[in-house]
Structure 1
Amino acid sequence: MTRPYVTAIVVAHDGARWLGETMRALVSQSRRPDRVAGVDNGSRDGSAGLLAQTLGSGNLISLPRSTGFGEAVAEALAKLPPRGGDEWIWLLHDDCAPDRRALEWLLTAAERDPKAAVLGPKLRDWLDRRRLLEVGVTVGRTGRRDTGLEPREFDQGQHDGTREVLSVSTAGMLIRRDVWEGVGGLDPFFPLFRDDLDLCWRVRNAGHKVLNVTSAVAWHAEAAARRRRPIAVSGDHPRRLDRRNAIFVVMANLPFWAMWWALLRNVLGSAVRTLLFIVSKQPANALDEMVAMGSILAHPFRLLRARRARRPVGNKQDRKRGYIRIKRLMTPRGAAYRRLIDMVQSFLAGEAPVDSTGRHHHASPEEEYEVVPADTGAVKRFIGRPGVILMFALTIVALVAERSLLGGERLGGGALVPVTGGASDLWAFYTEGFHDIGLGSTAWAPPYVAVLAALSTLAFGKTWLAVSVLLLGSVPMAGATAYLATRHLIPAVPARAWAAGTYALLPVATGAIAAGRLGTAVVFVLLPLYASLVTTLLSAERRRARRAGWSLGLLLAVGTAFVPLVYPLFAVLGVLAAVAFGGVRRGAVTSMAIALVVPVALLFPWLAGLAADPGKILLEAGLHDPALVDAGLAPESLLALSPGGPGLLPFWVTAGLVTAALAALLMRRQRMIVAIGWGIALYGVLAAILVSRITVEGARAWPGVPLAFAGTGLLVLVGLTAHRLAELRAGGGLLRVGATVVVAVAFSTPLLAAGYWMVNGVRGPLVGDAPEVLTVLAALRSTHGERTLVVKGSSFTVLHGRTPLLGESELPVASEARARVGTAAQGLIGGRGGDAATLAQNGIAMVAVAPPVPAELAKTLDSQPSLQRLSLSEAGGLWGLAEPVTRVPAQPVSILHTPWLWAQGVLVLVAALLAAPGRRSPEALETPAVALAGA
């Protein structure tokens, strides 16, 4: 074969810091180019002088500073006439230094494959010469640039071999001149970014191959992509230009129907990314996203002209086969799931989202940028993560243990009102000023109703689904939050998994599920997040600590809405922590103050009502049945983290946790961590002892939440000192034996708890098929707003034509009205008569008796002249009043109600925006565990 003729073109633009090495690499090639031309695009740093010194002034072309790379190459080729035959063009950036044999290997690969028209080298990083940058590039239908590499992946030969790819970079690209001229070269519409992808796509549409030759190596600084030099080629912001070009290339080159589908995905994706940038406090990036997408939609004829110019050659079948080959080289559809997972993890970790170009544009100019790889095994790798395995195992445990609750028509019992209604019902209940339920009330609805309404909305309006996930799924969710929250506190993965599994299966969790305590279940899931945010607040730099304060305030408001006792319990610890760390970390006191003020501001009207009756602070969401709490709970039960009531695990299940925590007291090191952990544990136990001795509304308060605080302190303590047990085991002798016993006992805790719970199941008043509180007949007859007096044993309640919603039973009722109705009800039940008029005046038209109906009570009600039996069966009894019902007029609503609801919504939105992750601060972040240990 004839010797190929190679024309090398070097384009420079303010690249003097790299150009010297690039030129030395060019002149030292084992196979030298036959001619070389240099183009300088208005450099101001001496790049033109370096080119003239190396190539000679006659081989230098000077162009304006605003000239793009494609225009520069076209100008050089216009002054270099074709040589005919086998001529190749070798393109080099000023920041790309090829290996000595790079050109030789590229030409060798071209000789072996006659269909190859474009070839590119393996690109490595300029600074870290081991790190891979590109072995070919592909793209997704949203324009996202994928390299197929892991972030910061080192070159160990794992990708070696010449392979066909969708595109290669213009940095080191070798292209046949006849093909270049046939497809029109680089499109000047792309002065920067994505011009290489567009050129290679057009080359492939023309029937040629694009190859990446890994035996040819070049080192690339990516100065433009990493913002390492000023960009004067376009008036647009670099990110805006990159995003616009990314969308345009895909829209211009895809087939017609695939283009429309990609356009829809890009429009929706841009809207989501814009919202994400706004939430993460990056308005500039949000504006770039909107402008980039808008520039595509605003110029449809420009896109139409580009599509006509890029029409593939051949007939319909040839074009279809060509697109199938290109489609195989594009980003696999499964890679979108990997990016979604990474995006969510980054957002939850407090990092700014990665944009569609694959770059972190908030990074400093000298910081490396990473791309998200196109990995078809992302799902397998995600499933194989320890945290995912732990959550999956806890889910299986929960499903087996809760087998008796699954598949029922209505979850309810214990503290949980049978779940009825949907999201719209809860929203209406929360926002209305006068609640026409029971005897009527103008009190504020419990704020947790708004939380359930929001979650029910996300659950497609199904309240039963939201409640089931919160209550029945509290064990796996608590394990997940505990595992995620301790990623900085407990570095050892086995210790984290043990701590998370043990926490999820504490007696508080199983007791809350058995008794239907939805409030405790929610707080139990949130508590690890409180601990994580507190450590971030006390140990991170100011900006991140301030975001942690807002996040903590929002989550604390949610927990307080379900269990008011959470706020005073946390406030004591928060104030002590802020005082202790205020001198170590600037802004810690302010951030903690934000966390404590946000719940008060969001829940103010409802909290003001609790202040009038402080005893209710000890109660939580739901019914307050005295049978759900053990009277006179023994202190040893509280020390074993057992709050009493149904569904609890035996003492020996949690003995391993207490044993491991006691063993930590014998360690000489990390005494501060031991002191903090045991301090929180004792604080929780003492609070539990106090709470369990107080009676509110005829029922003792349940000490579950204080004991959850105690368990959290012990688990963090054991997790942080677990490595010391490993060191003691390596010491030999009695220390080894003792440490081995402690480790074995500790690791048996979650296993024993899971086994016991699965074998025995959920044993408590909570059932999956709770009966209707109001009979069907009573509901059908209540068509005009009539109320029904429901009698159950010695207690009664008044219902308004339906089973009550969550939160309705907790509304306070005027004491006078309730006393009158109570006296009238007792008169009817006692057979004294003469009280039906009082019931009718309060809108009560029927008297229902919950099953089983005592025969004596049925006889007594039948004997009342003011009552008429409507039905009597195993499902209960129903009697109608002969007295005409007097409708109760709606009471006036406070003028402050609606404005405060709007103000509350605005406060939630502002707090959420301030809590959202933003730009990462350039200050180094200290590991929270290290900060706590050092303090």
Structure 2
Amino acid sequence: MVATNAVLHHREASAHARRVTDLAPHPHRADREAAVHVLLAQSSLIASPFIAIRLLLGSALRALMFLLGKDFNASGDEVKAVLSVALHPKRLAESRHRIHQTSTEPVSVVNSLRPRLAWQLRQTFEALIGIASTSESAATLSVSAGETGPTDGESDYLDVSSSGLLKRILWRPSVIMVLSLMVFAIIATHALWWGDGVLQGGVLLPTPDGATDLWDMYTQGWHDVGPGSSTPAPPYLLTLFAASAAFLGKSALVVQIVMLLGLAFAGWAAYFTLRGVIVSKPVRVWAAVMYAVLPSVTGAMTAGRLGTVIAAIAFPFAVRSCVRLATSTASVRRAAGTALLLSILIAAIPLFWLIALIFALALGITSWRRDAQGSKRLLKRLAIAIIGPVILLAPWSLQWFVQPVRCLIGSAEHNLSDPDLSPISVFLVHPGGPGMTPVWITAGLVVAGLLALLRRDRSMQIALAVGLSIVGLMFAILQTIVMVTPPGATDAIRPWPGPATLVWGAGLILAAALGADGLRQTMGGASFSLEQPLAVVVTVIAVLTPLGSAVLWLPTAADELQKAPASAVPAFVAADSVGPQAPRTLMLRQAGAGQVLYTLLNGPGAVLGDADMAPPGDVWLPLDADVAALASGRGGSEIAHLSGYGVRYISLVRGTSTDLIPILDGEPGLRRLSSEAGEVLWGIDGVTSRARLITDGVATELDVVGGTPEFMAAVGVGTTPYLDQKIAAATTERQLVVGELANSKWNAVAIDQATGEETSLEPVTLQGALNWSQAFVVPKDAVHVRVTFSQTMRSLWMWLQLIVFIVLVVLALPARRVDEIDPDVEGSGFPAEAVRHE
């Protein structure tokens, strides 16, 4: 068979959808099938099975990529091409036979012509670096001006720039800025990078070692917090779980990096998202550095407010996406991407959903009044962006509507707030709390942001930035006025206005940057007036503001955080707490005259997320009375009540006043176990296991399944099953006390030893000190009982989240687009004068 060059040319063109041919109705499928067939036919007998597996996996991955790129035809062609080769082994065998009969050279002679893996990885790395450093030209390969014509294949492996890749990367303003911020952050927190233990302190609880622990905490329907809780886990645990995948599951390392380098990441996020908005690179650098050292960011790092640090990194991306969503060219893809970004932001700080809702309502109402018919597309996109995160984060997000106070409080970040914070401090971008610089240091930022309104040629953009900041200021001032009772607490507190102040400061920075961008050229051709010296003074103050903030924050950067063991109790208590009976520990701390604070501890110590999963506040009222009686030394029934909660140990926290020691020493039923380095430990006599079996008023200790000691230390006592134990028969009915807060999802069954038949046990409410716990009636002849907590509803919510997430990701992904130059089209390819006959 003779094939001319024209036929070959048209065959190649048809594979790229530039020719229509009756011989191949599906050119992509035919091209892929031919490629797979040729590669397998040319491979050696030993290598062919491995090549076949690689091609199969590669085709599956390519089909998935086509599917995500919404190119369903190409995805189907990819699968059908591989199947066609696999289902016709006879054709492949015939091809291999012909090649074996006619080949004069081995296939290895062409291996050197294929692009090496190192070169492909380098191209990918350069593209990613270009995107991360906001370089407009780094996404494509640069071409040296010294190339005057075609070169041989070896030139492809030469350095594409005379200065070298490393030098080109390091000399970019964004890289210099981020590296400088990282060095500064490392210097400020140098004492926290080394040493044994886990990063903790302030409002930051120790992080479990493994990412799977975070996943288990998030997927559990019942949480081992206090006397037990069914409060949904906060979704920022899922964000940390995903980030931990890049660090081989080291979740504690991820939290340490985010907390200690948070300002550097926030600065990079601000610089990256300002591309295309601020032309001047010095202005962009100033805006990014100013954003990185905002008191909300540095204060959050000092106090261990992980949610605010995550929000500071995600906020610039969410704002940029929201602004693009409001344009007339925005699509459903943009709305889905915005919903995903807002989900990350809202998972850390719920307040941002209220801010996004306010702007969506304002934009929707304005658009509707202007053009009711034409605004439907915009309203549809806004609905996806606002409602999408609520559904994706359910059931955690549904608590906002039942308890709106959760939006003001945030993710357990209300501790360490300043009760005497004034609205003036918030106006000067200071939310109060640890790690604050003097309030006057950011006055220059406020002045620069508000004076930017005087620039007329960018009045609309600056007004929008100031409008955003004012919304944040309103919420920040509100949080300095109101007193709220956090879920899981009984006392009212003042919320920390850090996230709202972050919005206020970010809006001022954006307004000031918009006002300064191009100001030199604008004023250069204008006649002299008062505006020129005023602009110089404001510029000098604005430049000095981030420098002053950084220098003044440096001495206080590590005041609250520390590296310490995750366990808050002695080693033998920690070992007992993850044992078969899983006893609890009551931690006492005297906060002042007549005030005692306590924590009901499960396992060795509290872990990240526990504060967000606490049970309702009224659950603690009986314990409040017992602890008050214990601290008063009245010698009543409080010890019996505490043992009913499974409390086996009472610990006086190190550094607490010693006034409580003689009181507890004289308490009947308590015995001192140890006293070391200011930490005193007592033990409670009697039955102190969580689960117990009561027969004729006499309690017997039962063991819980719990899980492995590592699982119980990080996640808590497992509930599938919670208890699975054989018991002795009795002459009367008994009561099985679970030792966990009563909930309708607890189930208990009696198992027949002979047949294995399960009989459900009837729940019962006990009287007296155990009325808080879930309990069941056990028949007198039952000898094997099992207790579980139903995970059905939690599983359904997880499936809903997965479906919504997949839908949003698929909608947010760009559709596959192929832009190829057709050499047959006039004006494409080489110019006519460059082609000549030899």
- Pairwise TM-score range, normalised by the shorter structure: 0.7 to 0.9
2:834 counterpart residue number: none
Name the % identity.
Answer: 30
Deviation digits for residues 188-216 of structure 1 (CA, Å, limit 9, x no counterpart) = xxx834xxxxxxxxxxxxxxxxxxxxxxx
Query: Structure 1 CA distance, aligned partners of 2:190 and 2:284?
Result: 28
Q: Give how far 1:903 is off.
A: 2.0
Q: Does 1:579 align with 2:365?
A: yes
CA gap 1:745/1:275 in 2 versus in 1, 3 angstroms: farther
Deviation digits for residues 871-925 of structure 1 (CA, Å, limit 9, x no counterpart) = 2101622211112125241543276333223223222222222222224699xxx
Q: Give how far 1:585 is off.
A: 6.3
Structure 1 unaligned runs (5+)?
1-69, 74-90, 95-169, 172-190, 194-222, 355-372, 923-935
Quick check: 1:404–1:762 contact (8 Å CA) kept in 2? no
Amino acid corresponding to residue 815 of structure 2 in structure 1: G
From the CA coordinates, give the structure whose radius of gyration is larger. 1
1:393 counterpart residue number: 180
Which of 241, 244, 249 is matched with 1:461 structurally? 249
Query: Structure 2 CA distance, aligned partners of 1:328 and 1:434?
Result: 59
Q: Does 1:592 align with 2:382?
A: yes
Quick check: 2:189–2:558 contact (8 Å CA) kept in 1? no
Moved more, 276-285 or 776-785: 276-285
Which of 273, 277, 280 is matched with 2:62 structurally? 273
Q: Does 1:785 align with 2:785?
A: no
2:773 counterpart residue number: none
CA gap 1:421/1:685 in 2 versus in 1, 3 angstroms: same
CA gap 1:659/1:521 in 2 versus in 1, 3 angstroms: same
Amino acid corresponding to residue 746 of structure 1 in structure 2: A
Query: What secondary structure does 1:234 align onto?
Result: coil
Which of 221, 232, 241 is matched with 1:444 structurally? 232
Query: Structure 2 CA distance, aligned partners of 1:348 and 1:589?
Result: 34
Deviation digits for residues 540-599 of structure 1 (CA, Å, limit 9, x no counterpart) = 53xx52122122222223322222211112211122123334547661111011111112
Quick check: 1:515–1:765 contact (8 Å CA) kept in 2? yes
Query: Structure 1 CA distance, aligned partners of 2:95 and 2:663?
Result: 86
Q: Give how far 1:262 is off.
A: 6.7
How many residue pairs end up in the alignment?
Answer: 677
Amino acid corresponding to residue 121 of structure 2 in structure 1: A
1:559 counterpart residue number: 345
Q: Does 1:629 align with 2:414?
A: no
Which of 40, 52, 71 is matched with 1:282 structurally? 71
Which of 214, 220, 245 is matched with 1:432 structurally? 220
Deviation digits for residues 636-688 of structure 1 (CA, Å, limit 9, x no counterpart) = 32222221111134456544533432342222222212221222222222221
2:559 counterpart residue number: 764
Query: What secondary structure does 1:802 align onto?
Result: coil
Q: Give how far 1:762 is off.
A: 1.2
1:206 counterpart residue number: none
Query: What secondary structure does 1:869 align onto?
Result: strand
What aligned pairs does 1:809-828 form with structure 2 within 5 A after superposition? 809-813=611-615, 817-828=619-630
CA gap 1:291/1:610 in 2 versus in 1, 3 angstroms: same
What aligned pairs does 1:587-626 form with structure 2 within 5 A after superposition? 587-622=377-412, 624-625=414-415
Which of 11, 35, 58 is matched with 1:192 structurally? 11
Q: Give how far 1:701 is off.
A: 0.9
CA gap 1:643/1:909 in 2 versus in 1, 3 angstroms: same
Quick check: 2:390–2:398 contact (8 Å CA) kept in 1? no
Query: Structure 2 CA distance, aligned partners of 1:402 and 1:295?
Result: 60
CA gap 1:340/1:827 in 2 versus in 1, 3 angstroms: same
Amino acid corresponding to residue 902 of structure 1 in structure 2: W
Amino acid corresponding to residue 639 of structure 1 in structure 2: F
Query: What secondary structure does 1:594 align onto?
Result: helix
CA gap 1:502/1:910 in 2 versus in 1, 3 angstroms: same
Query: Structure 1 CA distance, aligned partners of 2:476 and 2:429?
Result: 9
What aligned pairs does 1:348-747 form with structure 2 within 5 A after superposition? 377=160, 379-380=165-166, 381=168, 385-408=172-195, 409-541=197-329, 544-581=330-367, 583=371, 587-622=377-412, 624-625=414-415, 628-651=416-439, 653-697=441-485, 698-731=492-525, 733-734=528-529, 736-747=532-543
Amino acid corresponding to residue 237 of structure 2 in structure 1: V
Quick check: 1:403–1:761 contact (8 Å CA) kept in 2? no
Deviation digits for residues 435-467 of structure 1 (CA, Å, limit 9, x no counterpart) = 233211223223333333343355433221232
Q: Give how far 1:725 is off.
A: 0.9
Which of 336, 350, 372 is matched with 2:121 structurally? 336
Amino acid corresponding to residue 232 of structure 2 in structure 1: W
Q: Does 1:848 align with 2:651?
A: yes
Deviation digits for residues 473-506 of structure 1 (CA, Å, limit 9, x no counterpart) = 3223222332332334334444333323322222
Amino acid corresponding to residue 577 of structure 1 in structure 2: L
2:603 counterpart residue number: 801
Q: Give how far 1:414 is off.
A: 1.0
CA gap 1:429/1:730 in 2 versus in 1, 3 angstroms: same
Amino acid corresponding to residue 333 of structure 1 in structure 2: A
CA gap 1:915/1:875 in 2 versus in 1, 3 angstroms: farther
CA gap 1:828/1:589 in 2 versus in 1, 3 angstroms: same
Amino acid corresponding to residue 508 of structure 2 in structure 1: L
Q: Give how far 1:721 is off.
A: 3.5
Amino acid corresponding to residue 120 of structure 2 in structure 1: A
Amino acid corresponding to residue 192 of structure 1 in structure 2: R
Q: Give how far 1:246 is off.
A: 4.9
Q: Give how far 1:603 is off.
A: 3.3
Quick check: 2:450–2:508 contact (8 Å CA) kept in 1? no
Query: Structure 2 CA distance, aligned partners of 1:666 and 1:748?
Result: 22
Moved more, 788-797 or 277-286: 277-286
Quick check: 1:252–1:306 contact (8 Å CA) kept in 2? no
Deviation digits for residues 254-284 of structure 1 (CA, Å, limit 9, x no counterpart) = 7888888776665554444333332332222
Q: Does 1:774 align with 2:569?
A: yes
Quick check: 2:188–2:558 contact (8 Å CA) kept in 1? no
Query: What secondary structure does 1:72 align onto?
Result: coil
Quick check: 2:203–2:305 contact (8 Å CA) kept in 1? yes
Q: Give how far 1:327 is off.
A: 2.1
Quick check: 2:453–2:462 contact (8 Å CA) kept in 1? yes
Q: Does 1:301 align with 2:93?
A: yes
Query: What secondary structure does 1:592 align onto?
Result: helix
Which of 799, 805, 810 is matched with 1:908 structurally? 805
Query: What secondary structure does 1:469 align onto?
Result: helix
Amino acid corresponding to residue 884 of structure 1 in structure 2: V
Structure 2 unaligned runs (5+)?
140-155, 486-491, 591-595, 692-736, 746-789, 820-838
Q: Give how far 1:841 is off.
A: 1.3
Amino acid corresponding to residue 839 of structure 1 in structure 2: L
Query: What secondary structure does 2:603 align onto?
Result: coil
CA gap 1:250/1:338 in 2 versus in 1, 3 angstroms: farther
Deviation digits for residues 289-334 of structure 1 (CA, Å, limit 9, x no counterpart) = 33445556665636744764685649xxxx97x56xx627745623
1:884 counterpart residue number: 687
Deviation digits for residues 720-772 of structure 1 (CA, Å, limit 9, x no counterpart) = 34334122442364555444444444344444444555x53614312233663
Amino acid corresponding to residue 688 of structure 2 in structure 1: V
Quick check: 1:413–1:767 contact (8 Å CA) kept in 2? yes
Query: Structure 1 CA distance, aligned partners of 2:61 and 2:174?
Result: 28
Query: Structure 2 CA distance, aligned partners of 1:271 and 1:391?
Result: 39
Moved more, 328-337 or 723-732: 328-337
Amino acid corresponding to residue 11 of structure 2 in structure 1: L
Quick check: 2:225–2:615 contact (8 Å CA) kept in 1? no
